Every structure is written in structure tokens, then in C-alpha cells.
Amino acid sequence: MNKPGPHSSTKTDSLGPLVGIYGGTFDPIHFGHINTVASVASQTGLKSVFFIPSAIPPHRPQPQANAQHRLEMTCIAIDGHPQFNIDDRELRRQNPSYMVDTVFSLKSENPENRYCLILGMDALLGLEQWHRWQSLLDQLHFIVMQRPGWSEPSTLPEWWRNRQAETFRQLQLSKAGRIYPIKIDPIDISATDIRNRLKKGKDVSQLIPDGVHRYICENQLYE
């Protein structure tokens, strides 16, 4: 009989499978998204991560490229990563892309799943501005990736301190509500910088997948 691997467990089976979700404007999607989440998936053993492009992000300036282009670029970027999938439910909604609505909708369709929201430190630092953010803490686990330029506050607010997890195992053993700062190599890439570079005609080939680069050129995005 095979021995259980590091991520398999009998005790956690009854809690339901853990599925990653990764929301963003992806305007455009870049290696700071793809490579960091690939590291998260390989380190945690998450078998499935859903990329969820937002239509009308409520907490930030509106994206430059339209929803269809951002969806296409995301499809191109995840090609070759069998554990990555796309969920376009926020693009099909007419209202602002509140993550809390997305999570309730995912859970109603897949009540057996537990969800881990993967996000950068910059995003977690702004969580208190999100619509019904406390409800999200009850519904999900959070996996937080380091991002150059942002760091964990020296004194964590109470909601964060009480939920901070030292290991991914703590997420596997509970239903929701843990915040796990994962240790991965930080990648200093942002979509803002890529848009600025493209506008000035500068090289971005090291920052985005080739297929995304080709798509941007063919569709004359970010000029």
C-alpha cells in the first residue's frame, strides 16, 4: 500500500478539497502572477487554482484593456499549467466584482469545496476596504504572497493576528478563516510598470509570456 504523501490526509478528507482562487484585473497578466502562483501550487499541493479576472474592480482604477482582451490574455498565459483554470463569472456579472459575491456563488455551485484566496501582500493590506471583508474571513482561507514594496505590518490588527497560520497544514485542518503568509521567492513585476513600458515602446519580453506579448502587439493594446 502507498504511504500518504506530504499533502494527503485522511483527517482532512471530510472537510472537503481545498481549491485555490486568484482574482485580479490581469491588465495584463504577467510572470509576477503566473510564477508566484505556480510556486504556491507546488508548495501547497493545491491541485486546482481558478484565475478569476474582475470586470469592474471596486477598489481600484478601472482596467485599461477591455474584459474580453484580459480574459484572452489570461487563457494564453495559463496554457501549459494543467492545474490552472479560468472562471469568468465576474465578467458575466453586470455589477461590481465583489469577491464576496464570487465566493458565495462558487460555494453554492460546489458546496463540497473549501477555498483558499491567493493574493499579494499589497492586496491583503487593503482588505479592510473590501465589500463585506469580515464575511470573506469566515468563508475562505487566505494564502498571502510576498511582494517587493509591501511587507507585513510589525503589529498585526487583531483580525489578522488571530488567524495567522504558521503552516499550510493548519489550513488543511480547518474549514476557513486562516491567513498563511507563504514563503516563495518574491517577483518584482507589476502590470502598471508593464503598461508604462509598452506606452514608451520599451521591452517587456522578460515580464510576460511570449503569447501574451504577441496578443498585445496584434491587438495594439496599451499603446
Of residues 2 and 132, the one with the C-beta less far from ligand ATP: 132
Query: How many angstroms separate the Cα of 118 from the Cα of each of 94, 106, 176, 195, 219?
Result: 24, 15, 13, 23, 30
Of residues 8 and 42, the one with the C-beta less far from ligand ATP: 42
Closest approach of Cβ 89 to ligand ATP, in Å? 16
Peptide bond into 28 cis (omega under 30): yes
Closest approach of Cβ 172 to ligand ATP, in Å? 22
Of residues 5 and 61, the one with the C-beta less far from ligand ATP: 61
Closest approach of Cβ 14 to ligand ATP, in Å? 30
Strand stretches in the chain, DSSP E: 18-24, 49-53, 84-86, 114-120, 141-145, 179-182
d(CA 194, CA 200): 10
Q: Collapsing DSSP states into helix, strand and coil, what is residue 162?
A: coil
Strand stretches in 68-148, DSSP E: 84-86, 114-120, 141-145
Residues in contact with ligand ATP by CB under 6 A are: 24-27, 32-33, 36, 119-120, 122-123, 145, 147, 187, 189-192
Of residues 176 and 207, the one with the C-beta less far from ligand ATP: 207
Closest approach of Cβ 223 to ligand ATP, in Å? 17
Nearest residue to ligand ATP, by Cβ distance, number only: 120
